[in-house]
């Protein structure tokens, strides 16, 4: 290779000259692995896989290329981004063009760029009406919670501990996903999808669990970039799309994610999510028991009152026909049966109380029937005492005329009339021989 101006050999072909320049550049350490910062313009991701752009600031500019696969390109990098690159200077001989061949590229103010994207996403969601859409109602007692978070994380341990404090053995499915890094958004979205599938009754049936009725998605605290998955559109859209209420539980109190803005409920931390969604078993069990006791006490009082009015009814029934008593008995016994059937499936304490109630009703009914029987016996006795046949036994007899009418006065008799005498054990025919009127007042 020529190293100087040697007139004897004639002019250098331009290509050779350019390559000479290239070699010189490549040998100078100043131009290799240099760290350079600037703003991106003419950012172009070519269909051939390479990325071309120009790095520029107020004092100069230079073309740059990122060969396909040479380095990771942050998806946030775009036209106007301020970046820092590590690059070698190279000269493309064919075009006589100097360019940077980039081996690393990063945003200078990544967080700033992230914040800009976040703001844009929030604005888009607001325009679509997704921030003030009607939220899904959370179940008072969740039958199956799906928790999407980092497996083995401290946040998960906290949540599990809190759940078991509040409602020991509450059913839950934990879906372990990456919550930070490149794969986090995709995995969180897939986790939400899996939880949604588990909320479909047919699918849940196959897995022999009740359908998922609550989803908690989140992670513990970390650097803003580590939490960023929860500010990204795919995750946010997946939360919006869920048919099951979603609680977002990301980071600390002060971290506000876009996920928080669209979720059906925002919890300030993972632990807070449990406090907001998992009820206390003891409280609800006590509530149930107290309602049961009040219901039974009230019913018992009513039954006692009822028994009193039954007794009252009893005394009024003295003059009622037997059929009425029978109907009343049927009614009361039917009510009693219903009352005892009602609570067949309830806890034993209540069943016992009910049994007492039923016994009281039966007692009342039996007592009423016994009283009724007594009343009938009394009626029978007084009826018997006024039966004329009993009088005949005492030596009296009853006179009837031909037509069977009872004759009690001499006025109804004529001499020679045929009469019948009824005696205790039979009858006798007689003829009236004479009539003597006695004292009419007798």
Partner 1 sequence: MSKEMSYSKAIQRLEEIVQSLERGGIPLDETLKLYEEGAKLLAFCQQELAAAEGKLNEMKLADIENKLSE
Residues at the site binding partner 1, with contacts judged by CB under 8 A: 139-144, 151, 160, 167, 169-177, 187, 190-191, 194, 197-198, 203, 207, 209-210, 281, 284-285, 287-288, 291-292, 294-295, 297-299, 301-302, 305-306, 335, 338-339, 342-343, 345-347
Look at residues 275, 224, 223 and name the one whose alpha carbon lies nearest to residue 247: 275
Do 194 and 176 touch, CB atoms closer than 8 A? no
- In the complex with partner 1, which residue's Cβ is closer, 338 or 394? 338
DSSP H helices in 343-385:
348-385
Minimum distance from CB of 138 to partner 1 (Å)?
Answer: 10
* Number of Cβ atoms within 10 Å of the Cβ of 416: 9
Kindly calculate the radius of gyration of the chain based on its CA atoms and give it in whole angstroms. 52
Q: How does DSSP assign 259-275, residue by residue?
A: HHHHSSEEESSHHHHHH
- In the complex with partner 1, which residue's Cβ is closer, 104 or 143? 143
Minimum distance from CB of 305 to partner 1 (Å)?
Answer: 8
Minimum distance from CB of 259 to partner 1 (Å)?
Answer: 18
Q: What angle do CA 174, 175, 179 make, to 5 degrees?
A: 120
Minimum distance from CB of 152 to partner 1 (Å)?
Answer: 9
- In the complex with partner 1, which residue's Cβ is closer, 123 or 342? 342
Minimum distance from CB of 291 to partner 1 (Å)?
Answer: 5
- In the complex with partner 1, which residue's Cβ is closer, 74 or 350? 350
Look at residues 248, 290, 7, 259 and name the one whose alpha carbon lies nearest to residue 149: 248
Minimum distance from CB of 232 to partner 1 (Å)?
Answer: 17
- In the complex with partner 1, which residue's Cβ is closer, 101 or 292? 292
- In the complex with partner 1, which residue's Cβ is closer, 23 or 337? 337
Minimum distance from CB of 143 to partner 1 (Å)?
Answer: 5
Minimum distance from CB of 302 to partner 1 (Å)?
Answer: 5
Whole-angstrom distance between the N-terminal and C-terminal Cα of the chain?
A: 175
The H or E element that residue 20 is part of is helix 14-27
- In the complex with partner 1, which residue's Cβ is closer, 142 or 270? 142
DSSP 8-state code for residue 231: G
Minimum distance from CB of 265 to partner 1 (Å)?
Answer: 16
Q: How far apart are CA 81 and CA 64, in angstroms?
A: 14
The first and second tokens of residue 167, run together, are 């409602």
Please, which residues bridge with residue 44 across strands?
52
By the 10 Å C-beta count (0-12 exposed, 13-18 middle, 19+ buried), 267 is classed as buried
- In the complex with partner 1, which residue's Cβ is closer, 125 or 177? 177
- In the complex with partner 1, which residue's Cβ is closer, 125 or 361? 361
- For the chain, what's the residue count? 442
Q: How far apart are CA 173 and CA 194, in angstroms?
A: 11
The first and second tokens of residue 88, run together, are 């070698």
């Amino acid at each position: 290779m020529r190293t100087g101006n040697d007139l004897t050999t004639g002019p250098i072909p331009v290509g050779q000259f350019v390559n000479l320049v290239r070699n010189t550049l490549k040998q100078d350490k100043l131009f290799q692995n240099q760290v350079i910062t600037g703003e991106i313009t003419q950012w172009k991701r070519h269909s051939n896989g390479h990325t071309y752009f120009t790095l520029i600031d107020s004092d100069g500019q230079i073309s740059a290329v990122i060969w396909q696969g040479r380095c990771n390109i942050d998806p946030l990098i775009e036209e106007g981004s301020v970046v820092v690159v590590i690059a070698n200077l190279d000269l493309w001989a064919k075009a006589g063009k100097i360019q940077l061949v980039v081996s690393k590229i990063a945003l200078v103010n990544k967080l700033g760029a992230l914040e800009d994207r976040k703001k844009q996403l929030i604005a888009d969601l607001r325009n679509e009406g997704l921030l003030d859409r009607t939220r899904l109602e959370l179940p008072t007692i969740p039958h199956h919670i799906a928790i999407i978070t980092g497996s083995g994380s401290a946040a998960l341990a906290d949540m599990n501990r809190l759940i078991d404090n509040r409602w020991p053995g509450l059913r839950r499915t934990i879906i372990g996903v990456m919550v930070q890094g490149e794969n986090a958004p995709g995995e969180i979205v897939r986790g939400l999808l899996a939880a949604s599938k588990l909320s479909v009754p047919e699918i849940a049936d196959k897995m022999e669990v009740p359908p998922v009725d609550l989803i908690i998605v989140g992670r513990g605290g970390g650097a803003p970039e580590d939490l960023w998955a929860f500010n990204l559109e795919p995750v946010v859209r997946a939360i919006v799309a869920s048919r099951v209420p979603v609680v977002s539980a990301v980071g600390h109190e002060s971290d506000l994610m876009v996920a928080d803005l669209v979720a059906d409920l925002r919890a300030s931390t993972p632990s807070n999510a449990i406090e907001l969604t998992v009820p206390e078993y003891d409280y609800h069990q006590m509530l149930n028991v107290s309602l049961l006791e009040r219901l039974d006490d009230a019913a018992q009082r009513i039954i006692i009152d009822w028994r009193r009015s039954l007794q009252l009814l009893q005394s009024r029934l003295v003059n009622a026909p037997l059929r009425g008593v029978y109907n009343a008995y049927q009614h009361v016994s039917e009510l009693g049966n219903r009352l005892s059937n009602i609570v067949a499936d309830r806890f034993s304490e209540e069943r016992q109380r009910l049994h007492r109630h039923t016994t009281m009703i039966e007692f009342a009914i039996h007592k009423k029937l016994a009283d009724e029987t007594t009343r009938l016996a009394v009626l029978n006795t007084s009826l018997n005492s006024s039966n004329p046949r009993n009088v005949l036994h005492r030596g009296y007899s009853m006179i009837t005329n031909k037509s069977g009418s009872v004759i009690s006065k001499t006025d109804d008799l004529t001499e020679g009339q045929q009469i019948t005498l009824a005696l205790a054990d039979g009858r006798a025919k007689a003829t009236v021989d004479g009539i003597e009127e006695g004292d009419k007042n007798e």
